[in-house]
Amino acid sequence: MNDKISNNESRFATLKNEATRQRWELFHRAIALAKQSNADAMAEADRFQNSSSSEASEPVRHRAEPLLSIAR
């Protein structure tokens, strides 16, 4: 009986560790996507600003905004 409990506990610990690893992987992937989104939005804003300097200024609502953001 003691072996069965120990075996179940080790299985649970293994599943728990795998779930934790997967959560951290998803978290880091989300951070990487947010950083890329911000970099893309900033590059787009720079391109827009450079192209609109010779043309009439566009309204703010037409500027590219990041879809996913992280605190800076």
Concatenating the DSSP letter of every residue in 17-72 gives: HHHHHHHHHHHHHHHHHHHHHHHHHHHHHHHHHHHHTTSPPPPGGGS---SS----
Name which residue leads in pLDDT, 53 or 1. 53
Domain spans of the chain, in order of start: 2-62
pTM for the predicted model, two decimal places: 0.53
What is the tens place of the pLDDT at every residue in 40-60? 988 988 888 887 665 555 555
